[in-house]
């Protein structure tokens, strides 16, 4: 568990970790650098994440961090999920978002909202071998998350689902989908219902895979539902209460996106520091020039500030305290820092930073999504402002 800010009684500063979390972080860092690192460029170019690396993430316990041991998981903490996402993003933000969606969106929702039979049926699979996906977005439902057109018709012992989902992360690899549809469009958000949909179900298909600017190795696909029959026992929570599942899960997920963006920024800073020490101009390393030193100092300060916001939001959530404003701040600020830090890193590399031969070009592309998914920057600003003003 992360400790609060330092004081005379010896409590660790916020960004320092207790022994258990420190060892956990070191394990993920080693795995990311040694196992994922050598394949990052090839996976980005191919737009595919290696299956053997996903298998290794399962073996390491990264896909079921918070799942209790009785269901085959690691019995870890929310903060450890955030640490894992951050450390993976230092090396490859695509790997980070795969682990993020699995843990902070799907596993979290499964543990909180499913019944015991559903947990025993699915959690062991999610911890051991089944990638999961969170299917909310549609063509007309982005920031207006509950303008869903996907329809779920009550047919007695089952629901019949029809519609299309867009921009669904992990869809190409997923075996289980946490999918949102409306049972009554006229009821607005009160009609939203959450379903467990397995890959291979009749009437369900994974469609077009998007060709993206960044995080290219992370799959983003369309889902097609054509008279897809979902048994009533696969409804998550109550019919018509899916909006609450979506809102509360996304609020937590935004902390992990903040961690992903912080890790990305740290990766860009690491590359910039190393290159500045190596690159020589006018007879000395560019790190000896005050202009470059000031750039690096500002980058480092922003990355640390981003980390503090993310860790604080994670600490609040883990402690059962209100965290909505802090999560929005963390996601909003970290996404800005990732974009500006990656851009500055490209500039420190100069001309070669603009080529694919060096890693900062990829991180610059990867950073853009941070201001868009799991709530755009404008939506985060709205949330922060409303909370400050006491508005609902």
Residues taking part in catalysis: 374
CA distance 326 to 335: 14
d(CA 45, CA 361): 12
Closest by alpha carbon to 269, among 349, 380, 324?
349
Residue 261 near residue 89, CB atoms below 8 Å: yes
Residue 114: DSSP 8-state: S
Q: Which of 40, 60, 58 is nearest to 50 (CA)?
A: 40
Candidates 151, 178, 175, 173; CA nearest to 162 is 151
Nearest alpha carbon to residue 306 among 65, 30, 14, 78: 14
Question: What does the alpha-carbon distance between residue 65 and residue 180 come to, in Å, rounded to a whole number?
Answer: 24
Contact call for residues 133 and 169 (beta carbons, < 8 A): yes
Between CA 392 and CA 390 the distance in angstroms is 7
Rounded to whole angstroms, what are the CA distances from 228 to 151, 199, 245, 281, 326?
A: 10, 11, 22, 63, 39
Please give the sequence-ordered ranges of beta strands (E in DSSP) within 170-249, or none if there are none.
176-182, 192-198, 204-209, 220-231, 235-236
CB 123 within 8 Å of CB 236: no
The two three-digit tokens of residue 227, written as one number:
């008279």
**CB contact at 8 A, 175 and 207:** no
Q: How far is Cα 100 from Cα 108, in angstroms, rounded to an integer?
A: 11
């Amino acid at each position: 568990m992360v400790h609060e800010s330092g004081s005379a009684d010896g409590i660790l500063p916020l960004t320092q970790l207790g022994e258990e979390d420190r060892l956990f972080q070191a394990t993920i860092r080693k795995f990311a650098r040694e196992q994922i690192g050598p394949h990052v460029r090839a996976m980005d170019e191919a737009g595919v994440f290696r299956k053997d690396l996903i298998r290794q993430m399962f073996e390491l316990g990264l896909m079921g961090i918070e799942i209790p041991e009785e269901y085959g998981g690691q019995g870890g903490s929310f903060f450890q999920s955030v640490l894992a996402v951050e450390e993976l993003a230092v090396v490859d933000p695509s790997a980070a978002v795969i682990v993020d969606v699995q843990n902070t969106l799907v596993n979290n929702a499964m543990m909180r909202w499913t019944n015991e039979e559903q947990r025993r049926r699915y959690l062991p699979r999610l911890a051991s071998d089944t990638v999961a996906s969170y299917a909310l977005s549609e063509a007309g439902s982005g920031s207006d998350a509950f303008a869903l057109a996907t329809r779920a018709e009550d047919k007695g012992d089952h629901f019949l689902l029809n519609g299309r989902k867009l921009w669904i992360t992990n869809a190409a690899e997923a075996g289980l989908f946490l999918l949102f549809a409306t049972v009554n469009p006229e009821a607005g958000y009160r009609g939203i219902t959450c379903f467990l949909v397995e890959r291979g179900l009749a009437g369900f298909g994974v469609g077009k895979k998007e060709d993206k600017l960044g995080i290219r190795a992370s799959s983003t696909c369309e889902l097609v539902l054509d008279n897809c029959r979902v048994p009533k026992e696969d409804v998550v929570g109550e019919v018509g209460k899916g909006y609450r599942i979506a809102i509360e899960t996304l609020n937590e997920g935004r902390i992990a996106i903040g961690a992903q963006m912080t890790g990305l920024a740290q990766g860009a800073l690491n590359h910039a520091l190393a290159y500045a020490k190596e690159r020589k101009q006018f007879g000395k390393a560019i790190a000896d020039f005050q202009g470059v030193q000031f750039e690096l100092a500002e980058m480092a300060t922003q990355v640390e500030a981003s980390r503090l916001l993310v860790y604080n939001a994670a600490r609040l959530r883990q402690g059962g305290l209100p965290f909505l404003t802090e999560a929005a701040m963390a996601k909003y600020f970290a996404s800005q820092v990732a974009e500006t830090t990656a851009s500055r890193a490209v500039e420190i590399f100069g001309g070669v930073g603009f080529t694919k031969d060096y890693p900062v070009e990829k991180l610059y592309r990867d950073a853009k999504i941070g201001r868009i998914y799991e709530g755009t920057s404008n939506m985060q600003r709205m949330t922060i402002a409303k909370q400050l003003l006491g508005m609902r």
